[in-house]
Structure 1
């Protein structure tokens, strides 16, 4: 898109365009829920997995839902 930004340091918070990216973050971070402030498509995480994730990471309940990424976008 031709845009660029300069950050004073590493990003501390992220918004996931797809909640399934949480699975990838869990491979990289001890607490993958810590940097997430919002995510789209929270219902895309399998119903059988999310309760397990919530027990391990209760902070998941504080993450803002930004809508459905497949419905033409999501609101930030």
Structure 2
């Protein structure tokens, strides 16, 4: 049976992978947003920007959780 320490490491590692995915999705959405803006789809680009803001906010929360777990 894993120890609390092993469980914390595995949890922090999994959250770190999710955080990397979050950053990759944000970067992809930003590229699509830029393209939408260039094509004149400002309303859609604005919605995409709001999605990126949500990803950024959640990424900060994930980072905080990862740090708390790694330091426990």
Q: Which category of TM-score, normalised to the shorter sequence, fits these structures?
A: under 0.3
Q: TM-score scaled by structure 1? A: 0.24
Which structure is higher in helix share? 2
Q: TM-score scaled by structure 2? A: 0.25
Which structure is higher in strand share? 1
User: Which has the larger Rg?
Assistant: 2
